[in-house]
Structure 1
Amino acid sequence: MKKKSWMLLLTLVLVIGTVLAGCGSANETTTTEPGTTTETGTTEGTATEPAADANLAADQTLHLNLSAEPPTLDPAQAQDSQANTALRFMYEGLATIDADGNPAPGAAEKWDISEDGLTYTFNMRQGATWSNGDPVTANDFVFAWERALSPETVPAPVYAYQLYYIKGAEEFNTGKTKDFSTVGVKAVDENTLEVTLTNPTPYFLGLTSFYTFYPVHQATVEGNEAWAADASTMVTNGPFTLTTWTTGSEMGWTKNEKYWDAANIKLTNVTASIVNSGATETASYQGGEIDYAGAPTGEIPTDQIQPLSQQFADEFKLTDIASTYYYEFNTKEKPFNNVKIRKAFAMAIDRQSLIDNVTKAGQTPAYGFVPTSIAGLNNQSFRDEHPDSEYFKEDAAQAKTMLEEGMKEEGYTTLPPITLLYNTSENHQKLALAVADMWKTNLGVEIETKNEEWSVFLESRKTGNFQIARAGWSADYNDPMTYMDMFVSGGGNNNTGYADPAYDALIDGAYKGGNDPEKRMQDMAAAEKMLIQDNMVIMPVYYYTQASLTKPYLKGVTTDFSGAINFTRAYLEQQ
C-alpha cells in the first residue's frame, strides 16, 4: 500500500473503542502510522491530573445511579451503554482510550503495525495480572475472541461482527470453517499476540478497547456457566472488581489493588443505585446522595433541563454527541412490510416541534442515521458532505397520500393494530406519546404505546417481537461504518429483518476500500441512501445531545465524542 494513501486515511478516521454501550443506549482516537512501534507510556492519563493527596477527600467513594441494570456483565454478550459503563470499571483491552481520545497502552504495553497495515503485534504488559493474581497473557485474548466468535456460544454474541476485521473471523463465526486456527489471531507466546486483518483498518487499534475485545479469565469462564451473574465469581483485569450486586437495587465496585496502574487509581469504591426514574435521580443529586446525574448512566427529565441548567450553572453540561435516536420498523411484520407505509410514518412527524416541546435539550432533527460529528473526508463531517435533508421531507399531506397508496397495495381498508414499543423511561414515554399523537393527527392512525424493562425490551427487539421500536445508537468508533454495517443481512444488531444483497455489497466495498478513501465514503453514503431514502428501514428522529450534572468536587471524569463516560481515573476533592 502506498504510504500517501495510508496517511490520508489515517487523517480521516479518528476512532474510539466504545459505545454505547455503539452501542445501543438505554437512555477519537488516532492510530499509529504503519510500520512503526508505539509505546506511549505506562499510564492512561486523565482529563485533569490527580490532585495532590492533601487535596483529596478522605472518603474516595463515588456515588452514581444507573437507570437500568446491565443485562449482562459478560463482555462477549454485552450490547448496551449500561453494560459498557460497568465493564469499564472491571476490564481492560489491549489498548485504552485516553482523555484526548487517543489509543494508549492498556493490557498491551506496546505494539507494532506492519507496513501493509495488516499485521498487529501486541506485546503484553509485564506485571499485569487478573484480580486473583494470575498473569494476563496473550492466550487470554485468544480464548476470549474465539468464544465471542464461536457459533456454539449461547446466546450468540450480537457484536461478533466487530471481530470480522480479523482474517478468517467471519468464516469461523458463520460456520464456513470450524477450525479456529484459520482465524488471524495467534499467541506467539504468553507475552506476544499477533493479529492479522483481512483489509487495512486504521481504526482497529481503537476497537481493541471495545468491550467485545476484552479478555476473559479462561478458568473462571469454563468452570461456571453463571460466572458473569455473581460478583463473587468474577475474575477481572481492570481497575476495579465487582464486590456487590443486588439485582434491581445496587451495584458496587472496589479498587483492584492488583491492577497494574493501581497507583493512579484514586477512587477506593464506586456504588451505583439502580433506579429507573429521572426525577428520583435528579432529586438524589440535589440532595447530595449521588455525585453525578444524567446521561449516559441515567437521565434528567426533559422538563427539568432548563431549570437545572440555571440552578446548577457550573455543574450542568449539555453537549452534542455522536449518537442517533430513531425508531426501527420490523420489515417482516404487517403493516411495516410495506415501504410506502414506513415512509408515511416517517414523513408524518414534526421533529423540530418534538425537540422544542418534548425533549427540550437542543437536539438536531435527524433525517439520516450518521450523526453530524462523525468524520468524513478532508477533515469534514460525513453529514456535511452528504446532507440528510436529501433523503426525505416532513410533509403531512404527502404522508397521508403515501399511506393510502401503501394500504391499497396491501389490500387494507383500515390498518391492523399497531404498537410502538419503548424501554421504560420517563423521557422515552413522553416522546412516544407525542409521536403517537402526531401519527393520529396527521395519518388518522391509532397507536398503542407499550413499555418494557430494559433487558426484556432488548430481547423483544432481538427476537423481532415488535412492529415499531424505539432505538438509539452511539458510535463505537469515529467512522460512518459504525452505523452502516449494522444493517447487513443477518447482522447481530440488525433487528429490522432488512436484507438486501445490494446494501451488503456496498458495505463490503467500504470494508475493503482502504486504498480509496473517497470511494469508501461514497459507498457508505449510497448505503445510507438505500437504508433510508429508498427503503425507510429506520425512522430517524434526532441526533442526541447529552445532559449531565457533575459535582464540583468530582474531578477526572472523561467523556468521549460518542458520549461514553469513563470514571476509572476520577477522584474526589475535599469539599
Structure 2
Amino acid sequence: MHILARRHLRDHQNGRLSRREFLTRVTALGVSVPLAYDLLGTAPVAAQEAPVAGGTLRMQMPTLALCDPRLADWPEIGNMLRGWLEPLVTYNADGTFTGHLLERWELSEDGLHLRLHLRPGILWQNGEPMVAEHVAHNLRRWCEPVPRNGLAAVMEAVIQGQIEVVDDRMLDLTLGFPDATLIASMSDYNALIVHPSYDGADPAVNPLGSGPYRPILNEVGKMQSLEKVTWWGTPVFGGPWLDRIDYVDLGTAPMRALEAAQAGLIDAVDQTVADNIRAMEDLGWVASQAESSATLAVRFQQQDPTFADRRVRQALQLAVDNGIVLDIGVNGLGIRGENHHVSPLQPDYARVDPPATDIPAAQALLAEAGFAEHTFILTSLDDTWQALSCDAVAAQLNDAGITVQRQILPGAEYWANWRSYGFSGTYWNMRPLGVQVLRLAYRSGSAWNETGFSNPDFDKALDRALGIAGATERQKVMAELETILREEAVLIQPFWRSLTRHATPRLRGAAILPTLEHRHHEWWLAP
C-alpha cells in the first residue's frame, strides 16, 4: 500500500481525518474503492432494485451552446456532452475516485510519476478501439494554451513533464512537479475524452464518442436530446437503460418548472430551488439532496478601475453579513461562506477566523478611497436563487449607505460575458479539492480567473500546496491562501449550497450528486 495511504489511515484512526476525507485522499492515490472501504472496516452500499430498460426521461435543465469540451465552462454543457463523451475518472458522492475509462492508476511515492491503465475493450461508437495514444492526444490538447481552455491551468505538471505511451493500454506521465490534484481534475466536466478526428467545432454536429448515448437534437434554449446506442461499457457498468433523454429548457423562473411538472410535461428537474422545494413535495415528487461546495462568488473584477483599490473591495465585503445572504438567497439550505472559496466539505479546508461585518469601517474605507458617493452596479443572472442572493448583498450595502444598483440579465447575455462584469455573482460548481478551485479561479492569468486577481505571494503558496499530498501539511498552506484571499477582499462568498433534485417517483439512479454530474447510464424508469 502507498506510504501516504498508510499515513492517511493512521490520521483517520487517530481522529485527525474524517471518513470522507480519508476516502478522497487514498483513492486519488490509486487505492481501489473496495480496498479503501476494507481499510475502514466497512463496505459500500449495494443497489437493491433491478433496473428496467426502456422509456424516455424528460428533465428540466438549461440547454446551453455546446463547445469543445475543454472549453466548457458550465456543468450543464458538460452534462449534455457526457451522453457520448466519457471521463477518465469519476468522483463519487462518498468522496472516492473511481476509474471510468481508466481501469486503475498508480502514483509514485515522490509524486512525480503517474501511470494510467486504460480499461480493455473500450470502443468508439464507430467500432474503433480506444487506445492509449487517443488518451495521450487528449492530454496534449488539454495542455494547449488556447483561449478559455481551463484545463491548461490544471495540467501545468504535465506541461512541464512528459507523456509516454507504453502500449495500447498504458501511459506514463512524468510530471514537472508533484501535483496532488491531477486525478481530481481528470474527473471534471470539461475533462472528457474526444476522438482524435475531432476538429474543435460543435461536438454535436458530427458526434463521435465512446459513451452510451448520441445527440439527436440540439436546440439551444429549447431542448437537447440523447438517444441510446450500443455501448462498450454495458458489461462493466450496466445500462444504459433509458431509450432517450430530453433536456427541456424552461428558462430560469422556478415557477415554469413547477407548472411543467404539474402538467406532466417533465419527469425531473436538474435542481430544485427556492419555494419549489415544498411545492414539488406537495406534488408527490421524490427529493434527493447532497451537501456540496457549490457556491455563488460575488466577485470584484480588479482590472475594472472601480475595484482596483483594495479599500473599495474591503469596504463592500465588510458591509455584508453572509448569513443573511444564505437565508434569503437559498432559504438557509447550506453552510455560511467565509469569503475565501474553500469549503469545509473539501478535505484541504483550513479553519480560519470567520469574516467580520463592520459597517462603520466599511464607510470609512470608501471615504478614504474616494468612493463614498459612487454608485456600484451588481450584475447577476436572472436565475431566481442567484438573483435573490445578489439582491440580499445589494440591500445590505444600500442599508449601509453604499449605493448599489442591480442589473439582472437573461442567460444568453449573462453566460456570454460572465468574465467581464465589474461586480457580479457567478455560480461555481463543486470541485473535490479546494486547491483545485483556487488554481482555476485565482492564479494569475488563469483562463477562468474572472476577478483579475494577481498576487505573486498567492501564486507561490499555491505552488507549494499543489505539491503536498499529506492532509495536515497542505492545510497549513491552505490557511495562508485563504487568508490572502480574505485580506485582499477578492470576493464576497456568502454560502455553500445544499443541492436538491425532485423527480417523479418512477425515476431511479438519478439522485443529485455534489458535482451535479449526470450519469446517464445509471438512470431508469420503474413501471
Tell me if TM exceeds 0.5: yes
Q: How many residues align?
A: 508
Equivalence for 2:401:
443
**Residue from 209, 217, 223 that aligns with 1:244:** 217
Equivalence for 1:268:
243
For each residue in 1:21-73, what CA deviation from the matched residue of structure 2 results, as whole angstroms up to 9, or x when unmatched? xxxxxxx6454596979999xxxx997637446xx3x742111011x323434
Q: Secondary structure at the match of 1:96?
A: strand
Q: Does 1:49 align with 2:47?
A: yes
Equivalence for 1:287:
263
Equivalence for 1:553:
506
Looking at structure 1, the residues matched to 258 and 327 of structure 2 have their Cα atoms a distance apart, in angstroms, of: 21
- Deviation, 1:329, is 0.0
Contact 1:282 1:293 (8 Å CA) reproduced: no
- Deviation, 1:413, is 6.3
Contact 1:355 1:363 (8 Å CA) reproduced: yes
Equivalence for 1:433:
391
Alignment TM-score, normalising by the size of structure 2: 0.86
Contact 2:89 2:98 (8 Å CA) reproduced: yes
Q: Does 1:504 align with 2:459?
A: yes
Q: 1:125 to 1:291 in 2, by over 3 A?
A: same
- Deviation, 1:560, is 3.5
Aligned ranges for residues 311-460 of structure 1 at < 5 Å? 311=282, 315-368=286-339, 369-376=341-348, 382=349, 385-389=350-354, 392-407=355-370, 412=371, 414-415=373-374, 417-454=375-412, 456-460=413-417
Looking at structure 2, the residues matched to 535 and 73 of structure 1 have their Cα atoms a distance apart, in angstroms, of: 34
Looking at structure 1, the residues matched to 319 and 403 of structure 2 have their Cα atoms a distance apart, in angstroms, of: 11
Q: Secondary structure at the match of 1:165?
A: helix
Identity of aligned residues (%): 19
Looking at structure 1, the residues matched to 522 and 122 of structure 2 have their Cα atoms a distance apart, in angstroms, of: 18
Letter in 2 for 1:191: R
Q: Secondary structure at the match of 2:389?
A: helix
Q: Secondary structure at the match of 1:432?
A: helix
**Residue from 69, 80, 86 that aligns with 1:92:** 86
Alignment TM-score, normalising by the size of structure 1: 0.80
Q: 1:32 to 1:234 in 2, by over 3 A?
A: same
Q: 1:113 to 1:488 in 2, by over 3 A?
A: closer
Q: 1:403 to 1:240 in 2, by over 3 A?
A: same
**Residue from 140, 145, 152 that aligns with 1:160:** 152
Q: Secondary structure at the match of 1:270?
A: strand
Q: Does 1:125 align with 2:114?
A: no
Looking at structure 1, the residues matched to 342 and 49 of structure 2 have their Cα atoms a distance apart, in angstroms, of: 39
Contact 2:102 2:118 (8 Å CA) reproduced: yes
Aligned ranges for residues 201-240 of structure 1 at < 5 Å? 201=179, 203-219=181-197, 221-222=198-199, 225-228=200-203, 231-240=204-213
Of 238-247 and 207-216, deviating more is 207-216
- Structure 1, unmatched stretches of 5+, are 17-27, 172-182, 377-381
Letter in 2 for 1:164: E
Letter in 2 for 1:216: V
Q: Secondary structure at the match of 1:481?
A: helix
Letter in 2 for 1:315: V
**Residue from 184, 187, 192 that aligns with 2:165:** 187
Looking at structure 1, the residues matched to 67 and 314 of structure 2 have their Cα atoms a distance apart, in angstroms, of: 38
- Deviation, 1:538, is 0.8
Question: Which structure has more RCO (C-alpha within 8 Å, separation ≥ 6)?
Answer: 1
Q: 1:213 to 1:196 in 2, by over 3 A?
A: farther
Equivalence for 1:544:
497
Looking at structure 2, the residues matched to 493 and 15 of structure 1 have their Cα atoms a distance apart, in angstroms, of: 28
Q: Does 1:106 align with 2:100?
A: yes
Looking at structure 1, the residues matched to 329 and 471 of structure 2 have their Cα atoms a distance apart, in angstroms, of: 39
For each residue in 1:117-164, what CA deviation from the matched residue of structure 2 results, as whole angstroms up to 9, or x when unmatched? 43232332222111121111111111122122223x4x3412321222
Letter in 1 for 2:318: M
Letter in 2 for 1:557: A
